[in-house]
Amino acid sequence: MITARVLYLALGLAPLFTVSAQVDLEGRLKTLEGERIRLEEQSTRLTARIDSAKLAIIRRDLQRMGLPRLEDGEEVIVHPGHLLVYSERHEQPKWTAHIASPDLIKGNLARIDSFLPDPLVKSGTAVTADYWNSGFDRGHMVPSADMRWNLEALQGTYYYSNISPQVPELNRETWADLEDWGRRYVNFSKRRVFVATGPVLREGLPTMQKADRKNEVSIPEYFWKVFADLDGDSPRAIGFVMRNSKLDGPPISYAVTVDSVETLTGLDFFHALDDATEDRIEAMRELKDWYADGDPNKGEVEPLRAPLPKGMFNSVQAKYHIGKTATVCGTVVSTRKTAKAKAIYLNFDRMHPNQDFYATIWEYNGPNFSYDPEVWLLNKRVCVTGKLTIFDDIPRISINNEKEVMLYEDAIR
C-alpha cells in the first residue's frame, strides 16, 4: 500500500514535510515582514519630506501673491500651513492667509482641540482663560479641517493667534457652512484656493468681560473671508461678510466683491498682481463660477434678498410662518416627480435635500395646470401662495392650481 508520504516523496515534494522547510518558511515570512516595516518607515519619511515641500510651496506662493498689503510695523507670523498678522490691540488675528489645496481631500487627521498661546507672537496672545465660559466659541480663522492632511499644519491652527470670538450659532452653523462651501470647490475642481480671513476690527469694540480674563479680547461685529483661484489663465475671486450673530441664510447670501471687503476693512488684497487683473477679480461676485462639475450643490442660487415687497417672503423666511397662509418666492432650482405618489416637488433656491422650502403639486391637482409644472417652472423665479406646513423640518406649500403660482416679476408689479 502506497502511503501519502511515499507518494509525495516520489513526486519530489518531501521538503513540505521536513522541519527545516517549515523553519525556512517561517524565516521567509519574518524576512518579508521586516522588509514591509522597513518600506513603511521609508514611506513615512518620504511622505514627510513631500509634505514639507508642499508646505514650503504654499508659504512661498502666499508671500508672492496671497497676502494683504502690510502696514508699517506689521510682522508676518509664519506657521507651517498659514501666515497671519496679529493685532495686539484686539488680541486676535488682524488677518490670516492660507491655501486650501487638493491635499485636504485625503486628510483624515482628527481634531486636536488643544488650544495654545502662540510662541511666535512676541507680545503674547490670548489664552484659554480669556475664552473659557465666556459664551463665545473659539472661532478658527484658518479652518483646522483645511489642514487635516498634515499634522504640523493642523497643530498651527490651534494657536490663539488664529482664534477670534464668535457666537456659537455663527461658528457652528453659517460660518462652518461657508468653510465647507470653499472646500467643496477644492474637492470637485481639484484646484487650490487662496483664502484670507479675519474679523472686522475697529476702535471701540466691546471686550469679553470675564473676571478671570488675562487679556482684553475684542468682540468683532463682523467677519470676512476672501477666496481666490489664482492659478491658470482665468483667475477669480469672491468675498463674504457675516455679522457675528445667528444668521438665517445660506453662506452664498453673504457673498460680496473683494472690493467691498477692502472698503470695510481697509485691507488691500492681491496688490502683487498686475493692476488689470487685480481690478477685474476684485469686482467679481459670480457665484456660479465656484461650483465645479460633480458638486451636488451645483445649480443652487441665493435666496431673494429680503425684505420682499407686498408682504412676500423668501425661502429662508418661510419657517417663521408655519400654519399661516403666505406667499413664498424663490428660484425653482430643481423639480422631481415621485414614482409612487406622482407628486411634483419644486425645490426653491437650494438643491434637495438641502432646500429651505419646497412646493408640492399632488397628482390630483395636475389637471388644474395648463402647462407641465415639472418642466415649465424649472429655473424660473416664482411666488407660490398657500398654507405653510412643515414636513421633516422643511417648510412647504401644497399648490392646488396655477392661479396660486406667479412669476416673481409679475408678482411684484
Burial profile 45-60: b = 16 or more Cβ within 10 angstroms, e = fewer: eeeeeebeebbeebbe
d(CA 63, CA 277): 18
Tell me the CA distances in angstroms from 155 to 18, 110, 136, 385, one per residue in order: 55, 11, 21, 52
**What SS3 state is found at 197?**
strand
Q: Of 22, 85, 26, 82, whose CA–CA distance to 58 is shortest?
A: 82
From the candidates 82, 90, 98, 140, which is the catalytic residue?
140
Verify whether residue 140 is a known catalytic residue.
yes
What one-letter code names the amino acid at 236?
R
**What SS3 state is found at 229?**
strand
Number of H helices, E strands in the chain: 10, 16
Residues near 311 by beta carbon (within 8 Å), at least 6 away in sequence: 327
Beta bridge partners of 30: none
d(CA 138, CA 177): 16
Residue 262 backbone zone (phi > 0: left; psi -120 to 50: alpha; other: beta): alpha
What one-letter code names the amino acid at 168?
P
**DSSP letter string, 131-152:** HTTSS-EEEESS-GGGGTT-HH
Look-up: residue for cell 496679529? Answer: 86
Q: What burial class does residue 158 get, using C-beta atoms within 10 Å of its C-beta: 0-12 exposed, 13-18 middle, 19+ buried?
A: buried
**What SS3 state is found at 82?**
strand
Active-site positions read 140
